[in-house]
Amino acid sequence: MPNRLAGSSSPYLRQHADNPVDWQPWGDAAFARARAEDRPIFLSIGYATCHWCHVMAHESFEDPAVAALMNDAFVNIKVDREERPDVDQVYMTVCQLLTGSGGWPLTILMTPDRRPFFAATYIPRDSRHGRAGMLELVPRVQELWRTDRATLLDSAHQVVSHLEAVAGRPRAGALPAGLAERAFHQLAASFDAAHAGFGDRPKFPSPHNLMFLLQHWSRTGATEALDMATATLRAMRRGGIWDHVGYGFHRYSTDRQWLVPHFEKMLYDQAMHALVYTEAFQATGEEEFARTAREIAAYVMRDMEAADGGFHSAEDADSEGEEGVFYLWTEGEIRSLLDAPLAELAIAAWGVTRDGNYHDESTGRRTGANILHLRESARDAAAHLGLDPAGFDERLESARAALFAVRGRRERPLRDDKVLADWNGLMAAALARVGRVLGERPALDAARRAAERVHRTLRSPGGALLHHAGAEAVPGFLDDHAFLTWAWLELYDATLEPECLARALDLQQETLDRFWDTTGGGFFFTAHDSEPLLVRDKEFHDGAIPSGNSVAMTNLVRLARLTGRADLAARAEAVAAAAARDLQAAPAAHCHLLAAVQMAAGPSLEIVIAGDAADPATQRLLAAARSRYLPAAVLLLIPEGEPGRTVRALAPFTERHESIGGRPAAYLCRDFACRLPTTDPEELRRLIDEAAPPRPTATG
């Protein structure tokens, strides 16, 4: 008989609806039951595409013996971390404080009033290697609750006190000089010169760190920063972390070589990769980067877009009960599917061998299965095979298409179909940039559909932004507001439609009203009227994706430059000041925030073009303004008629920026001091080069 998760809108919770564990969703009813029955709470947090969450579920939560123990000892609560990132964030901090590490599945034992006294990640069914299993742990905790509860309560008190001390620690201060340079040197010290990327293994892509390096090169001319970024982007694109058959990036690499991935695909990873590959193309003109961004967009629109707009959250690593099997190929399969010459080319290009390069997780033995990857660049591979690069690409594409058709008949990994405001905002921002920079109109249209869906459907009856709608609507968090604002800014940059700028400003004001810390500066993760948790968190650290504060500060700087509003610039400076001690302690852990700090420090570059958007002369000026990689610049269009009056109302400093003699005109401004206008696109290019001299390109 299904438990209380059966009616959930979360695919992760529904995965556990038929467990013999008497799961309940997070909510007042579960906590009231724990108090009434005087039982501790077993809190399990995970997500639908989490491999080790599946392992623990199969071993323990589907096991009648374990379930009987859990049901007797605890009130059991399941949380989808993607639906409730606020709950996950608080209790993940607890796990890190208690164990020194974290991850999912996250297991918390706590009192009925939500105070934790034990934390772990994956727990096996049976005890092994000195780690207590569920069959041993649950009875032990139940006995302690009955006979030595004071010890558990004292532990809970200490945990909460420590958590409150961490959340309330002083963090604000004056920003010291040289933080960006320190972050650059920290990244350089951990750079893997042999395989690219940073550190040893596992390797996480962290695209925002690469974006920081690109922008650091643009600002300083340090070619080492550009070389590290571009080498890493090439290595990832050619490695097994990239899906060479269906496109898109897997979560991370388990090895140094970028060969063996953890196979799940997350929407936010696709967004961040699309952003950085597009930015790398802008910086270098390297076609491999543009192609990768286009193919990410193609994958997301093909496999992740919902029928009514917006994007689903993730695809699982597992299918047919095994991780990665959907993506693996044997040499025999490839030879049976392709004609002999094409099979030889595919096998050579993708590094396929008879023994395979994929190892069984339990035995460590090679299985004969292969993760497709490119051992070298397409140009070098073509030369080794005696082909010209164009011919090589054409033939490899034929092989890819054939494998893709066959793979479509395999059992697909689970797709988590939640539509989340924050990740959709991030994806819309990325697709809008792909559309603008690479001229990909379908990507731009998909970006607009996603932003419009969130704007239209993820709203409470009172009009507040929601994180997720469904059976359990979840109020919006900082990331939802910040990432959707980013989307509207990128859509404005791509379309120059005044409505997009107006929506970005409106949402930024809503963010300030609901999340701003009036005492310490910066933004809380939860709104002023959100459900109270143990602490109210304020996150500056850039993790798998940039923090809400990092993105919000970037938005504030861009909006201040676009509108000339000093109050927005002051709020941006206050975010940086609020994070000063965190930035000083670990600059490289805050790369996106540091990029915003650098942008705020200036010099700024504002390009204002006055003219009819449909006029070819206006389009030529716009093309000139967009011809360079200028990450710190903003572009504003003052169209004719009512749309122009709308823009002037949003950006009063443009009141006197007008066309000249009926001809579209461009105004180049640095820190809001404008040069004389020009109607000549080549003159505009010259002025831009003078204001922001081009940098030397990569040496690698």
CATH class (in words) of the domain with range 458-599: mainly alpha
Q: Which residues 6+ apart lie within 8 Å of 322 measured at CB?
A: none
Q: Which residues 6+ apart lie within 8 Å of 614 measured at CB?
A: none
- Region 436-462 average pLDDT: 96
> Which pLDDT does position 362 carry in this prediction?
60
- What are the residue ranges spanned by the domains of the chain? 11-167, 325-412, 458-599, 605-691
What CATH architecture does domain 605-691 belong to? 3-Layer(aba) Sandwich (3.40)
Answer whether 11-167 and 458-599 agree in fold.
no
Average pLDDT, the chain: 95
> Which pLDDT does position 700 carry in this prediction?
46
425, amino acid identity: G
Give the residue, 243 or 699, on which the prediction is more confident.
Answer: 243
- Using a pLDDT cut of 70, give the percent of the chain over it: 99
Q: How confident is the model at residue 361 (pLDDT cuts 50, 70, 90)?
A: low
pTM: 0.95
Q: Over the range 381-412, which residues count as b (16 or more CB within 10 Å of their CB) and which as e?
A: bbeeeebeeeebbebbeebbebbeeeeeeeee
The CA distances from residue 687 to 492, 500, 626, 677, 678, in Å, are 24, 28, 13, 10, 9
| Of 327, 370, 326, nearest in space to 346 by CA | 370
For the chain, the distance separating the N- and C-terminal CA atoms, rounded to the nearest angstrom, is: 61
What gap in Å lies between CA 310 and CA 363, rounded to an integer?
A: 41
What gap in Å lies between CA 31 and CA 248, rounded to an integer?
A: 41
Report pLDDT digits (tens) over 458-513: 999 899 999 998 767 899 999 999 999 999 999 999 999 999 999 999 999 999 99
40, amino acid identity: P
| Of 135, 163, 432, nearest in space to 274 by CA | 432
Report pLDDT digits (tens) over 371-402: 999 988 888 888 888 888 888 999 999 999 99
Give the residue, 363 or 25, on which the prediction is more confident.
Answer: 25
| Of 283, 637, 268, 243, nearest in space to 437 by CA | 283
Report pLDDT digits (tens) over 164-222: 988 877 788 888 889 999 999 999 999 999 999 999 999 999 999 999 999 999 999 99
Q: Residues 11-167: name the CATH superfamily.
A: Glutaredoxin (3.40.30.10)
> Which pLDDT does position 699 carry in this prediction?
47
> Which pLDDT does position 363 carry in this prediction?
65
> Which pLDDT does position 204 carry in this prediction?
95
Lowest mean pLDDT among 4-8, 456-460, 695-699: 695-699
Dig out the tokens for 668 from the structure. Answer: 């180049």
Helix (H, G, I), strand (E, B) or coil at 23: strand
Q: Is the peptide bond before 603 cis (omega within 30 degrees of 0)?
A: yes
> Which pLDDT does position 154 carry in this prediction?
96
Judging by beta carbons within 10 Å of its beta carbon (0-12, 13-18, 19+), is residue 168 exposed, middle or buried? exposed
What gap in Å lies between CA 272 and CA 546, rounded to an integer?
A: 9
Question: Can you point out the beta strands (E) in 232-377?
Answer: 252-253, 261-262, 265-266, 314-315, 318-319, 322-323
Cβ(320)–Cβ(311) under 8 Å? no
What gap in Å lies between CA 59 and CA 470, rounded to an integer?
A: 30
> What is the helix (H) or strand (E) element at residue 24, kind and residue range?
strand 23-25
Q: Which residues 6+ apart lie within 8 Å of 199 measured at CB?
A: 190, 192
DSSP letter at 397? H
Angle at 620 between CA 614 and CA 624, to 5 degrees: 135
| Of 502, 503, 499, 521, nearest in space to 512 by CA | 521
- Region 340-364 average pLDDT: 89
